[in-house]
Amino acid sequence: MKVKCPVCGAEIELPEDVMDGEIIECESCGAQLEVKKSGDKIELKVAEEAAEDWGE
């Protein structure tokens, strides 16, 4: 499935197993993007910056 980067407008091909919440990188502009998936609808938004409690 193809969606548009909300930052630069480039077309991004999403992997088949893409999950809601997944972080992907736009190969065109390098933006970190979060996948928002609701039913069949998929959109991208700019991902939040890494937080201090992120990790394992």
Partner 1 sequence: MSWFQFVVKVYYDMPRIEEKKLLKALEDAGLKAVPFNVTREPLPLNGIEEHIPLIRAVSMFKSLYTAAALEANSLKPINSSFTIMYSGDKILTYSILASHNIPIPKTIVSLNGDSTVKAYLQMGFPLVDKPPIGSWGRLVSLIRDWHEANIVIEHRSMMSSPQMKAHIVQEYVKMPSNRDIRCFVVGDECLGCIYRIPQEGEWRSNVALGANVKKLEDSCDACELALKAAKALKGEVVSIDLFEYQDGLLVNEVNGVPEFKGFMRATGMDVAKKVAEYIKGKVKR
Can you spell out the DSSP letters for 14-50?
Answer: PPTT--TT-EEE-TTT--EEEEEEETTEEEEEEPPPP
Which CB, 1 or 9, lies closer to partner 1?
1
Tokens standing for residue 55: 């990790």
Tokens standing for residue 6: 């909300």
**Sites of contact with partner 1 (CB under 8 A):** 17, 19-23, 34, 47, 51-56
CB of 42 to partner 1, least distance (A): 14
Which CB, 3 or 37, lies closer to partner 1?
37
CB of 51 to partner 1, least distance (A): 6
